[in-house]
Structure 1
Amino acid sequence: MSTKTLTTAVLGSPVPPFTSHAISVSLPTWKDNVGYEEGEKRVVDSMVTGYPRFFIHRSIQKLASICEQRFGVSGEECLLFPTSTVANHCRAFIIQQAAKDNLRFSVRIAQFLLHSDEKDKETCVPSSKLGAELHIVLFPADKIQYVRPFWQHTGMGISSRLAEHCLSLLPEEAVPASPTVYTKPKFSHRYSVREKQRSFSGAPNEVLTDDHSTYLEERYGRNLSQDASTFAKRALRRRIAGVLLRDEPAVWDVVGSTDSELKPSTRGDGVTEDDVYLYPTGMAAIWNAHQTITAVRPAAKSVAFGWLYVDSVKVLEKWGPGCHFFGFGHDEDIDSLEVLLEAESKKNPGCPPIMCLITEFPSNPLLRSPNLQRLRDLADKYEFLIIVDETIGNFVNVEVMPYADIVVSSLTKVFSGYANVMGGSLVLNPRGRYYRALKDELSSTYEDMYYGEDALYMERNSRDFVRRIKETDENTEAVCDLLQSRSQSGGAIKGVFYPKWTSRENYDKCRKKGPDGVPTGGFGGLLSLTFHSDAASRAFFDSLPINKGPSLGTNFSLACPYTVIAHYTELEWAAEYGVEEGLVRVSVGIESKEDLLGRFKVAIEAAEAAV
């Protein structure tokens, strides 16, 4: 693809284009991103879709409108969840948050069972496998600010594919013909800490194709059996556990079967598929990891170590006693953490000073890698648990299991790559000190909330994830070498954040190695840039001929002005930790290396011209 002919998606359209369940949305210019954060009508009215935890998919909106008409009373809106347990968690959260403002109002839960009259064409047996179950949390529409955070922070709302399935089970006359007939708020706010309601608008007549629909139709026909999704989920757990002896095209149809050949895990001594738990999103995995630890350990504050994804910090702050924030994630911060742990231990002898610590390896967007060995030593000494989010590093490149009690990952990102399905995983370390307690708790509380059709897409998408990660690693290193050389020549680029240069020693300690000790893992597919002027940042971003939007780990390159869309209302505070307003984050894809280098040269030249 020539950089001269490349066109990116138009403002507010799905990324990837023409994808019914796209997880990103096009915000092609710096001005568009600022307009999105400020609620500019030009931008908001263009939004056809958005990241699922922040922008309620139109199919979910349509289904929610029907549920409000059937179960709600005047002035009530609702959110939809897959199980009663999650709905009750949501209700408890709403009541708790409202109580902080001395408010009390009605929050109701309704159950909606949907059945199908369709019968199997061969046996004439009713197809009960097509049924669905919804749990509806109803609340006053003017109290949405107490409700929205649960959907966003936990990631456990129903998926858009489940919503479409539920709509297909309803009588035709019950389904609105156009999304313009309902007023469900979409949460069209991507990252920022501030919270506001925005009404639905957009391009209601746009037709989005059903991405990869022929895959399901050809393999499973119209009816999706429970056996098919069970097979896919087993294959996913084995792939994540690293126990598949063979995972290649010739054996893809058997990797989820009960007699598939397995081997010792590549993730760590003793890990099996039974130590892997699937969730509908990466945030759901993090939220449930924290909930599980809360259930087995004494209550205490947690620690957010390093500049974590904003919702990970929110989970620690809003569920439980709160958290200590060590935003730099440097080795010096570990010194400060040790001082804190010692002081808290003396203050409350016999009680763990903190409950758990969560960190990313490496972090987003600064790509810093913490010293996991030192953190592990402190955890063993002061009896707290460690959660490591390996999404950015991914387990093809790094091995963090020996240092963690729980490893979480957003499968939505590079594991899937296709940006058309959400998913998350939680893996227990069987060698961890608290493994048995965690395992027992999950054995009694874990619910499989991962919708079967989403699992099928994730399984299909992830079959070649090792190859794609290797290609992404190579492309990203080549791009970063180019950017680093230009930054050192005194041009517009001030800094390049990338594990090859950022806290390299800590990264190398966990980098995957072969039997001969030679590193086999790469440096990942994410990089961030800062510039010597705001004008250079904007010129680079606007001129970079790749897709622009939230998310990362996509097979196609994707860029965003990270600080603007993540911390727009707290730019000065973020800058104190090195997350500058003009920072540009780039997720590199698997395009031609030469083509990618050409695209980045175009953006570099634009930035230097602006300077």
Structure 2
Amino acid sequence: MSAAVTTVLGTSVPPFTPHAISVSLPTWKDNVGYEEGEKRVIDAMVIGYPRFFIHLSIRKLASICEQKFGVNGEKCLLCPTKRVAEECRAFMLSRSAEAGTTIPIRLVQFVVCPEDKQANGSSQNGANCVELHIVLFPADRFPLAKQFWQHAGKGISSRLAERALSILPDDIVHESSPPPLHAVRPMKLMNRHYSRSASIPKSPTMSAPPSPVIPSEEPDTIGADESTYLEERYGRNLPVEAAAAAKRAMRRRIAGVLVNDDHHDAHAGSNDVEIGPSSRGVSDVTEHDVFLYPTGMAAIWSAHQLALGTRPSAKSVCFGFPYADTLKVLEKWGPGCHFYGHGLDSDLDSLAELLEKEALTSSSPPVLALFTEFPSNPLLRSPDLVRLRALADKYDFLIVVDETLANFVNVELLPYADIVVSSLSKVFSGDANVMGGSLVLNPKCRHYPELKTYMAANFEDCYFDEDAIYMERNSRNFRKRIYAINENTEALCDFLRARSLADGASAPCAIKDVYYPKWSTPENYERCRIKAATSDHERDGGYGGLFSLTFTTKAASHAFFDALPCNKGPSLGTNFTLASPYVVLAHYAELDWVEQFGVDPGLVRISVGLEDRVTLLSAFNKALKAAEDAVRSSEVKQ
């Protein structure tokens, strides 16, 4: 499967993908315009990252629900279950109470069934009912509701919305139109919280972008029914009725218990498949220790709720500079958070001092849980998990590790963690057409019994079946893709670092540094990297598919990004190379502040794909020459 490069602002990445999870922002100026709400950019967008941009199908369905159930111009948020709707209401009430206000919030259950459409002269044999839980509130409180949608990651998926629209009576669907795009600007909040045997997909091209296409309201020419038919007809997807088996296959894949996973294809969820000890570094892990979620953030949010529900109340710790929403979750739910933004040994020393001091004044554990990424996004720093585990054992708190960037093909993190979370939307999927997340419990950890008991009583499967079907299909060749992406990324990073100040390159030097686990806190990464010679794994783990570049001048940074002939937009872990001015997108309202943690506003983050390596090197050489030309030009002007 290949993905062409799109240079059309606001269209889906990959192109012509109705449920794409990235959007084309091809120039530095476009990314700034997105953050500033520039009309030129916002009006061009027909899709976006699902937690920040409400999909057109969801907007249309929400508009129908508002017309049917709303009063006095109420807006709504659509949730997949009653519990999620109640969690949304509780969040909104709590945050508004802190601000000294109250909000009238209503919950409505709406069940859409095929007979609703049949009663209007149309038939949808075989379709299942769709249950929606609608959170209604005054229109001016929509920004607060968006926070729940973004941070908790548990709103309905676009596929669920399309299923509901497909079985609603035609007259209702056709009468309702979604509000104009500028009325629902992508969900970017002003980020001030810190300061407070499948084969590998064929190589896509990077050098010949397609002719520009005028974006339309519908970004794909293939209808939902036709798309589902094609996926099932040619054996790529299981039928939707097999969703339970698809989820079981993914849980086994993530647990590392499938023997010869590459040869199971669509049968990994069957009852007669061969199961063995886990390859995750803790042999006792089973599929029953793995829990699936609709997004990676939902897994992180749920890990925090799990900690809050099983351990004595205390602040959490966020160790290292994290993905932005992780810290928001720790701050906005529960007692708060201690933030150690560098994630280096000096922060470990400070954390140890805090723990010792807090332990002297209370008989309860000094902190609730420590959340960290391995490695971190976007600086690719890896924490010292050995020392963190020792502190957790001494002071009795949980460790939650986000393994999204490294992934369990490359590293063994579970031995050091109580809980491991991951965004399956990234390289586990690779195709950038579906969201998902996972949470894994370590059966060897001290608090496993109470964690497992809590999950047995409280876990709710709200992962939409059709999304699970797509995710399972995408993940079948996960390991093969990881190894290919590892090799591509290391070759690119070696090439770029040789032309950087960090490696002593001579003028005109455009690259300041290359952030990549091979050079960023390498001793901590190597301690967890899988070595075939000392484990049961057939191959060594690599350094993952993500790296970041900083530049010697702002002009060089912009020139490199604009000249790089690859897809550009949010997300990472795609089978195709994807670039982003990450700091602009994640921290635009706090650029001065993030610099104190070594996060350069001109940083460019690269997620490497499966393209031919020669093509990749040529593409990056082209962009590097543009950056070096920008350096020369600035020197002449001086």
* TM-score normalised according to structure 1 size: 0.93
The answer for the alignment partner of 1:114 in structure 2 is 112
Deviation for aligned residue 1:248: 2.7
Residues 237 and 470 of structure 2 are in contact (CA less than 8 Å); yes or no, is this contact kept in structure 1?
no
- Among 443, 461, 469, the alignment partner of 1:448 is 461
Instruction: Verify the 8 A CA contact 1:393 1:524 in the aligned structure 2.
Output: yes
User: Does the residue aligned with 1:567 lie in a helix, a strand or coil?
Assistant: helix
Tell me if 1:317 matches 2:335: no
**In 2: Cα distance, 1:447 partner to 1:479 partner:** 42
Of residues 426-435 and 209-218 in structure 1, the stretch that sits farther from structure 2 once superposed is 209-218
Residue 3 of structure 1 is matched in structure 2 by: none
Match of 2:134?
136
Equivalent residues in 2 for 1:308-387, closer than 5 Å: 308-348=322-362, 350-387=363-400
Q: Which moved more, 1:417-426 or 1:40-49?
A: 40-49
CA contact under 8 A between 1:61 and 1:184: conserved in structure 2?
A: no
Residue 283 (structure 1) aligns with: 297
What residue number does 2:518 align with? 500
Conservation of the 8 A alpha-carbon contact between 1:178 and 1:204: no
Partner of 1:149: 147
* From 272, 278, 281, the counterpart of 1:265: 278
Which residue of 2 is the match for residue 199 of structure 1? Answer: none
Listed as ranges, the matches of 1:183-582 within 5 Å are 185-190=183-188, 193=191, 203-204=216-217, 207-209=220-222, 213-218=228-233, 225-226=240-241, 228-249=242-263, 251-267=264-280, 268-348=282-362, 350-487=363-500, 488=503, 489-490=505-506, 491-516=509-534, 520-582=540-602
- C-alpha deviations, 1:181-233, integer Å up to 9, x for none? 568953514575269xxxxxx8436545358534444279999554x100100
CA distance in 2 between partners of 1:590 and 1:20 (Å): 22
What is the CA–CA distance in structure 2 between the aligned matches of 1:277 and 1:176, rounded to whole Å?
38
Query: What SS is found at the alignment partner of 2:267?
Result: coil
Shift of residue 253 of structure 1?
A: 2.9
Partner letter of residue 443 of structure 2? P
Aligned partner letter, 1:555: N
State the 1:128 CA deviation: 7.2
Q: Are residues 1:51 and 2:49 paired?
A: yes
Following superposition, the deviation at residue 100 of structure 1 comes to 1.5
Q: Secondary structure at the match of 2:317?
A: strand
Which residue number corresponds to residue 198 of structure 1?
Answer: none
Cα deviation for residue 118 of structure 1 reads: 9.6
Q: Distance in 1 between matches of 2:343 and 2:254?
A: 27
Distance (Å, rounded) in 2 between the aligned partners of 1:181 and 1:494? 45
How much does 1:255 deviate? 1.0
* Partner-residue secondary structure (3-state), 1:258: coil
Q: Distance in 1 between matches of 2:278 and 2:125?
A: 38
From 600, 603, 608, the counterpart of 1:583: 603
Per the TM alignment, residue 102 of structure 1 is displaced from its structure 2 partner at its CA by: 1.1
Residue deviations 1:331-352 (CA, integer Å, cap 9, x gap): 111110000001111122x111
Equivalents in 1 of 2:236, 2:182: separation in Å? 33
Alpha-carbon distance, 1:535 to partner: 0.4
1:248-306 CA distances to partner (integer Å, 9 max, x unpaired)?
35x32321011211111101220000000000000000000110110000110000000
Q: Give the Cα–Cα distance (whole angstroms) in 2 for the partners of residues 607 and 422 of structure 1.
A: 34
Residue 19 to residue 222, structure 1, CA distance change in 2 (3 Å): closer
Q: In structure 1, how many angstroms separate the alpha carbons of the residues matched to 2:629 and 2:175? A: 50
Cα deviation digits, residues 490-530 of structure 1 (max 9, x gap):
31100000001110000000001214469700000000000
Partner of residue 604, structure 1: 624
Equivalent residues, number: 593
Q: Aligned with 1:253: secondary structure?
A: helix
Deviation at 1:177, TM superposition (A): 6.3
Name the amino acid aligned to 2:437: G
Aligned partners of 1:558 and 1:589 also within 8 Å: yes
3-state SS, counterpart of residue 313 of structure 2: coil
1:234-261 deviations in Å (ceiling 9; x for gaps)? 0000010111112235x32321011211
Per the alignment, do residues 600 and 101 of structure 1 end up closer, same or farther by CA in structure 2, a change over 3 Å counting? same
Provide the rounded CA distance (Å) in 2 between the counterparts of 1:213 and 1:169.
16
Partners of 1:430 and 1:285 lie apart in 2 by 18
C-alpha deviations, 1:19-72, integer Å up to 9, x for none? 000000000000111111111111111111100000000000011111111111
C-alpha distance in 1, partners of 2:60/2:192?
26
Is the alpha carbon distance of 1:206 and 1:553 closer, same or farther for their aligned partners in structure 2, counting shifts above 3 Å? closer
Quickly say closer, same or farther: Cα 1:184–1:99, change in 2 above 3 A.
farther
Is the deviation greater in 174-183 or in 410-419?
Answer: 174-183
C-alpha contact (below 8 Å) 2:80/2:133 kept by paired residues: yes
1:36 aligned residue: 34
Alpha-carbon distance change, 571 to 183 in structure 1, aligned in 2, over 3 angstroms:
closer
Deviation at 1:417, TM superposition (A): 0.1
Over the matched positions of the two proteins, sequence identity in percent amounts to 58
Contact 2:64 2:172 in 1 (8 A): yes
Structure 2 spans left out of the alignment, 5+ residues: 194-214, 632-638
TM-score by length of 2: 0.89
For residue 595 of structure 1, what is the aligned residue in structure 2?
615
Give the Å deviation of 1:468.
Answer: 0.5
Where 1:486 maps in the other structure, the secondary structure is coil
User: Would you say the 8 A contact 2:59–2:179 is kept in 1?
Assistant: no
Return the alpha-carbon distance in structure 2 between the equivalents of residues 244 and 564 of structure 1: 41
Amino acid at match of 1:81: C
Q: Residue type of the partner of 2:561?
A: F
Give the residue type in structure 1 aligned to 2:85: A
User: Where does the alignment leave 5 or more consecutive residues of structure 1 unmatched?
Assistant: 1-5, 196-201
For the 8 Å contact 2:78–2:133, the answer to whether it is kept is yes
1:136 alignment partner AA: I
Contact 2:42 2:181 in 1 (8 A): no
Structure-1 separation of matches of 2:294 and 2:68: 27
| Conservation of the 8 A alpha-carbon contact between 1:57 and 1:186 | no
Q: Distance in 2 between matches of 1:240 and 1:578?
A: 33
Q: Which SS does the other structure have where 2:386 is aligned?
A: helix
SS of 2:64 mapped into structure 1: helix
Name the SS of the counterpart of 1:595 in structure 2. Answer: helix
Q: One-letter code of the match for 2:12? A: P
Cα distance, 1:8 vs structure 2: 3.0
